[in-house]
Amino acid sequence: MRTELSFSAPSQIQTELLAIAAVDTQTAKGPDARPQPELLTSDADVKKAAAAVLSSGEFKAGANEALLLHAPAGLKAKRLLIVGLGKQSRGNVHSVRNAAGTAVRFAKPRGIREVVFALPESDLLPPGPCARAAVEGAFVADFDPDTYRSDRKDLSVQSFTVAAPAGADKGAIEPPFREGVVIGESQNFTRSLVNEPGNKLTPTEFGRRAAAMAKEVGLQCEVHSTDKIKELKMGAFWSVSQGSEEPPALIVLRYEPKGIKDGPILGLVGKGITFDTGGISIKPADNMEKMKYDMAGGAAMIGAMRAIALLKPNVRVISIVCASENMPDGKAQKPGDVQTAMSGKTIEIINTDAEGRLVLADGITYARQLGATHLINAATLTGAIAVALGTHNAGAFSNDDETYARFHAALETSGEKFWRMPLGDEYMDQIKSDIADIKNTGGSRYGGAITAAEFLHAFSEDTPWIHLDIASMAWIEDSKPFIAKGPSGVGVRSILEWVRSYGS
Ligand code: BES
Ligand code: ZN
Ligand code: ZN
């Protein structure tokens, strides 16, 4: 998708589709309170073209509600699309991201390949952040997961233009606009990895794609396999891989800005299970096909590293992705087995389906060994996180309030929804083993996301650390006006902003 920034008045832009945002300004409540849609533009010709339909009561400016006018009088655009941001009081940068996405997804099935999105003119909506959000929203919306359909039609929008508000300062809009391109593309890079089926994206192929991306954007990359994993004594990681014919991949990406010799080193660790059958504790067949997305945490880290390489924050970053299949096999590990992790801790395997925490345990230890001073990990770790939070929030856990505060602030920019969950010794007690240092499940189904987090905590120890359980959000079951169903790319934007908080 080509992107452009225009400083022309929206009414003067020649395009297939001009999208303008509107809010509902009605503040009164009750049965007689009719919606009062208002266009967020100072362009008199646009207002005139939309006046009749706005006063008709047909369009309420609800969030992502869209209304199309053909051949709008007085405008150079062939079509005018009015997109709702919802109640004025609730309109924010994130509603602008979704509105831009709604415009793109409106255009796609209609064969419209060109969209101009006029940034809303409102004191509540700063043009810089809105420009970035609109571009992100456009890229996210342009993605469709049907890549293996032989009759697939390429419906992607070829040109997306952001029209700056009247009198806007180019210097304040252009940099965030450019950032939006990098971030939107990086999130889609993650989504394209997550979308791949397990037979295509094996751990080895995952490593190849990470290496190709690293070469393109100038990151250092090493991809190791069985020998190195054994040499490093990653007994927890290997215990998952030993039951598969496909060799595992230990993907290491490094971002080292020139001239930085001290300060924090951020460690980004991702779960990269390219298919999770459950192993010997095999999963039921229903929905098992979805377990191709069990590498979404690793893919989020790789997408974030792409954005980091291009946006160049002033901080060192290492990313470790532990990629493996989890398969049942004659060589697969069994419940009751005891494994020795890289840190030296011994682990009693209760359930071979709790494999994510095993690969992450060694990923975390390795990141610390490579010098990481602050850790963040992402994983589709537990079904229990969706029981706790539904599918509208992902879980976040941390052993350090200062580190978490940066992540919390990052959410303001990213617009992603993470809810902080507790840790605690009581949960840790649930994973004490009679035979080894720790066991890999908590026994009770209650609090399953927290006992999983405590398991990881036993390996991050006192290094400031954030754990993101994205199992509830990594796959979208039903499409929305601004995003297709399928892989969401959740985490990329927030992890990136967290990293930038240490050195933008
Ligand atoms: N990959 C799953 C978690 C998952 C579930 C991801 C649903 C996405 C959607 C993970 O490896 C797993 O199987 N966890 C078990 C843990 C249990 C055995 C303690 C679970 O959640 O049931
Ligand atoms: Zn599992
Ligand atoms: Zn898993």
Q: Model confidence over 256-305: pLDDT tens digits? A: 999 998 999 999 999 999 999 999 999 999 999 999 999 999 999 999 99
pLDDT band per the 50, 70, 90 thresholds, residue 88: confident
For residues 306-328, average pLDDT:
98
CA 285 to ligand 2 center in whole angstroms: 13
> CA-CA distance, 452 to 404, in Å (whole number)?
18
* Residue 53 in tokens: 């339909």
Q: Give me the chain's average pLDDT, please.
A: 97
Q: Which of 108, 271, 357, 493 is catalytic?
A: 357
CA 381 to ligand 3 center in whole angstroms: 6
- What local confidence, expressed as pLDDT, does residue 29 receive? 85
Question: Which residue CA neighbors atom 3 of ligand 1 most closely?
Answer: 382
pLDDT band per the 50, 70, 90 thresholds, residue 255: very high
Cβ-based burial of 50 (10 A; exposed 0-12, middle 13-18, buried ≥19)? buried
Q: What are 269's strand-pairing partners?
A: 320, 377
Give yes or no for residue 390 having a pLDDT over 90: yes
User: Pseudo-torsion of CA 200, 201, 205, 210, nearest 10°?
Assistant: 140
The ligand 1 atom at the shortest distance from the C-alpha of residue 440 is 19
Least confident of 10-19, 37-46, 83-92, 112-121: 83-92
Give yes or no for residue 247 having a pLDDT over 90: yes
Q: Which of 343, 329, 311 is nearest to 499 (CA)?
A: 311
> CA-CA distance, 81 to 310, in Å (whole number)?
33
Give yes or no for residue 13 having a pLDDT over 80: yes
pLDDT band per the 50, 70, 90 thresholds, residue 231: very high
Q: Which of 76, 113, 178, 283 is catalytic?
A: 283
DSSP secondary structure letters along 151-167? T------SEEEEEPPTT
pLDDT band per the 50, 70, 90 thresholds, residue 66: very high
3-state helix/strand/coil string of 72-85? CCCCCCCEEEEEEE
- What local confidence, expressed as pLDDT, does residue 261 receive? 87
Residues with CB under 6 A from ligand 1: 276, 294, 351, 353-356, 380, 382-384, 441, 448, 471
Q: Which of 359, 412, 380 is nearest to 487 (CA)?
A: 380
Ligand (nearest to CA of 271): 3
Give yes or no for residue 426 having a pLDDT over 90: yes
- What local confidence, expressed as pLDDT, does residue 30 receive? 86
**How much of the chain exceeds pLDDT 70, in percent?**
100
pLDDT band per the 50, 70, 90 thresholds, residue 498: very high
Q: Which of 244, 245, 291 is nearest to 272 (CA)?
A: 291
> CA-CA distance, 11 to 332, in Å (whole number)?
65
Question: Which residue CA neighbors atom 13 of ligand 1 most closely?
Answer: 353
Which one-letter DSSP state was computed for residue 371? T
Q: What are 319's strand-pairing partners?
A: 253, 268
Give yes or no for residue 167 having a pLDDT over 80: yes
Ligand (nearest to CA of 277): 2
Is 493 catalytic? The answer is no
Give yes or no for residue 91 having a pLDDT over 80: no
- What local confidence, expressed as pLDDT, does residue 4 receive? 98
Does residue 323 contact residue 203 with C-beta atoms inside 8 Å?
A: yes
- What local confidence, expressed as pLDDT, does residue 229 receive? 98
Taking only the tens place, the pLDDT of each residue in 122-131 is 999 999 999 9
CA 380 to ligand 1 center in whole angstroms: 7
Which one-letter DSSP state was computed for residue 8? S
Is 345 catalytic? The answer is no
Ligand (nearest to CA of 349): 1
* Residue 172 in tokens: 């304040």
pTM of the model: 0.98
Q: Please state, in angstroms and as integers, the Cα–Cα distance from residue 190 to each residue in 301, 390, 443, 491, following that order.
A: 8, 23, 33, 10
- What local confidence, expressed as pLDDT, does residue 89 receive? 78
For 354-473, strand residue ranges (E) read 374-379, 394-398, 418-420, 438-439, 465-469
* Residue 5 in tokens: 């920034």
